[in-house]
Amino acid sequence: MRLNPIGLIPTVVAILTPIMWLPALNHGGDALALFSQYMGMAALIAMAIVQLIATRWRIVEWVFGGLDQAYVFHKWLGISAMAFILLHDTIDADMRHLGGQNLLEELAETLGEFSLYGLLILVVITVATFVPYHLWRWTHRLMGFFFVAGAAHFLFILKPFDNSDPIGLYTAGFCVLGIICFSYRLLPARLRPSRRYVVESIESTGQVQAITLKPESRPMRYRAGQFAFASFHGAEPHPFTVSKAPSDDGHLRFSVARLGDFTTRLHRNLAVGTQVAVEGPFGHFEYRDNGRQQLWIGAGVGITPFLAWAQALGAEDSPVHLIYCVKSEAAAAHLDELKTLAHTKPNLTLHIHSSTTQGRLDAAALLALTGQNPSQLTVAFCGPKPMRAALKDGFAKEGVSGRHFKYEEFEIRTGVGLQTLANALFNRIALPEQIKNPLQR
């Protein structure tokens, strides 16, 4: 999956547009101060788009090429906005010919400082993935308040143009957009567009809890492989892949593994009859028969989209080899269901890979196992990110191009490589000692 240029190009254009008005404002020769002013405007525009992405409105998926890609862009756009703010704060934005400030303008200056330090703290919490998810989720909501403070700073601060000028109206328009989007996200889940479901059954399968939901109103229409945000009994919405193909009865099924505090509580406390609000569907990770050989790889709970794909697989579709990577068969979720599907669908071949006894998956070994031709192969993967990266590199060496290796960035929160950087620094510090003691490992 790649970011849709339909979203990237307009974002870049939106951030760069104020530049065309800047030359006319440089009356006093304060080019550096004017650049600082522009950095502040660029930050507000970027943050407004960040707030837009957070709404999960339909247009967001269409513009950015899937919600998974939108969230990746959301992260980097937020980091870019923080860089713009730091440049704006570091470079003196005061222009000599503007004169002194009144009380309102001084208040706006204070709001700017408040926004700067608040956003800086929250960005650090965001990229430091060792901070617990529930704490990050709570603090992430505060970003909108600091954006509002930054917008007020822009609207009331002393600057070389009026808010009624084209550049002022343009930037203020993005401020209004961001505030509207932030206000929408503050609404309770019941007031946002969602479908009403009730938990009909709960089944333990391997180390996963399969939760079947019955619609209480018009059911959600989705395609095999898509995901939705589910709010159980009014709790904060969490994303889950729908682990069954669409059916006439409108039922949904989520297969939930214990991956954090929330999912652990769900395993312990969820009961039949619980009310669930479902937002969606989202995602572009869906199967389309393109006439090529198919290799699907699901690791752990990453098998969930392939359950839906396998159920939706038509008799005339291309043959598929499904690799299910698990620690052991006892821990494998929906294994009996998959075996039944493989038995009833001649074009579906199931392979169970136990990492405990067989070690890591290897691209060359998988090609040898399935007898598939790399030049005619499409690989689809869902599972841990390190495994995905290793397999993608491995298949690339075997001749499977990157555009034929399909996956979804199903990580709502990701860092910026701080762990990798820390490991590199540690290794650099440790290297001299290793040189002194080459036999010590």
CB 66 within 8 A of CB 197: no
pLDDT of residue 134: 62
pLDDT of residue 369: 92
Residues spanned by CATH 3.40.50.80 within the chain?
Answer: 293-406
Assessment of whether the complete model's pTM goes beyond 0.85 = no
5-186 maps to CATH 1.20.120 = yes
Instruction: Give the C-alpha separation, 251 to 242, whole Å.
Output: 10
How far are the Cα atoms of 50, 126, 273, 414 from residue 76, in angstroms, in the given order?
10, 11, 40, 10
Residues spanned by CATH 2.40.30.10 within the chain?
Answer: 191-282
Instruction: Give the C-alpha separation, 401 to 44, whole Å.
Output: 39
293-406 maps to CATH 3.40.50.980 = no
CATH architecture of 191-282: Beta Barrel (2.40)
Strands of 377-382's sheet in order across: 348-354, 320-326, 293-299, 377-382, 405-406
> Which residue, among 141, 82, 93, has the nearest Cα to 116 in the 3D structure?
82
Residues spanned by CATH 1.20.120 within the chain?
Answer: 5-186
Instruction: Give the C-alpha separation, 313 to 429, whole Å.
Output: 53
Tens digit of pLDDT at every position of the chain (441 positions): 455 677 788 999 999 999 999 888 876 667 888 888 899 999 999 999 999 998 888 888 888 877 878 888 888 888 898 889 888 888 876 665 565 566 776 787 778 777 877 777 777 766 666 566 666 666 777 788 888 888 888 888 888 888 899 999 999 999 999 999 999 888 876 677 888 999 999 999 988 999 999 999 889 999 999 999 998 877 778 889 999 999 889 999 999 988 877 888 888 888 999 999 999 899 888 888 888 889 999 998 899 999 999 999 988 888 999 999 988 888 889 999 999 999 999 999 999 998 888 888 899 999 999 999 998 999 999 988 889 999 999 999 999 988 899 988 765 555 544 444 344 434 444 434 433 333 332
Q: Where are the beta strands (DSSP E) in 216-263?
A: 227-232, 238-241, 252-257
Please tell me whether residue 268 adopts helix, strand or coil conformation: helix
Which residues lie across from 380 on neighbouring strands? 296, 406
133-140 and 261-269 helices, crossing angle to 10°: 110
